[in-house]
Amino acid sequence: MSKTLRDQERQTGWWLLAPAVILLLLVYAYPIGRSFWLSLFTQNLGTELQPVFTGLNNYGRMAIDGRFWQSIGNTTLFTAISVLLELLLGLGTALVLNQSFRGRGAVRTIALLPWALPTALIATTWTWIFNDQFGVWNDLLMRAGLIKTGINWLGDPHWALWTVIAADVWKTTPFIAILLLAGLQAIPNDLYEAHTLDGASPWQNFYRITLPLLMPQILIATLFRFAQAFGIFDLIQVMTGGGPGGATETVSIYIYATIMRYLDFGYGAALVVVTFLILSLAVAIAAFWLSKLRPAGDWR
């Protein structure tokens, strides 16, 4: 018992932290590290699922894999468009919910609803709404006279990705709206009052006060959504499975197919590694921006 009190406290601390750290290492660090290792092997049906060391062969194969590049393209498009739309709609929703009106709490609850529901179930709902024959969306458009015959939203390669984006926007806009709403509510009203006394219009208020002060929240929300959208799986898996003809195949769907359908573990691991690196790079850039922005956000 010659340990100092500080040592004891530290030790207690480690014991408190240990289960969480072990769990995170097991479920996060190990799989990703393992993927790095496995990506150097060929382990697929051709090798009867035995690992054979082939160095960077998998990465070379990836370079000429047209489907991989298409999936990267799809993922990028999906991520960019859906996050952008979600930001705009989310900001709009947040601004509206930040006004005081009767029943605001109820509206806020309802606006949050899409976020809380299971994506896989919601995907079936949207599949049904966008059904080419019985879908209500086609019906509404036809009643409005905008189209003459029903569009096969999910079956037509030209429409499928946009349809999936629409569903994703619906599902995750509330998340952004809530984050931004919290940011809006933290901006003290006196700032607006002072600025208004200075003669600023509402638009100037928004542009010169709301937007800069909200920037940290916007960036964080974007970062979160970017990462989630880049890894989108359940929505697309249920709505289109990546089809038609790979039109909605994102990296996640491709990775899943490579591993679970083709049993091409080595190549799947290489895909995981590359996706991980791309995401890490993007996160690092975003974090760098964020850290530069932080001083501006420190007014609280």
Q: How far is the CB of 150 from another protein (least distance, A)?
A: 9
Of residues 153 through 182, those in contact with another protein by CB under 8 A are 155-157, 170, 174-175, 178-179, 181-182
Q: How far is the CB of 87 from another protein (least distance, A)?
A: 14
Among 78, 126, 153, 159, binds another protein (CB under 8 A): 126
CB-CB contact of 294 with 216 (8 Å): yes
Instruction: Say whether residue 12 binds another protein (CB under 8 A).
Output: yes
Instruction: Say whether residue 14 binds another protein (CB under 8 A).
Output: yes
x/- contact string, 63-102, with another protein (CB under 8 A)?
A: -xxxx--x---------------------xx--xx-x-x-
Compare residues 42 and 82 and give the one whose CB is closer to another protein.
42
Q: Rounded distance, CA 43 to CA 54, Å?
A: 10
Among 72, 85, 132, 224, binds another protein (CB under 8 A): 224
Compare residues 88 and 121 and give the one whose CB is closer to another protein.
121
Per-position b or e across 97-130, b if 16+ CB within 10 A of its CB: bbeeeeeeeeeeeebeebbeeebeebbeebbebb
CA atoms within 13 A on the CB side of 260: 7
What CA dihedral angle connects 68, 69, 72 and 74, to 10 degrees? -100
Q: Rounded distance, CA 70 to CA 68, Å?
A: 5
Of residues 232 through 291, those in contact with another protein by CB under 8 A are 232-234, 237-238, 243-246, 251-252, 255-257, 259-269, 272, 275-276, 279, 283
Q: Rounded distance, CA 124 to CA 146, Å?
A: 25
x/- contact string, 106-125, with another protein (CB under 8 A)?
A: -xxxxxxxx-xxxxxxxxxx
> Sign of torsion, CA 146 152 153 159?
negative
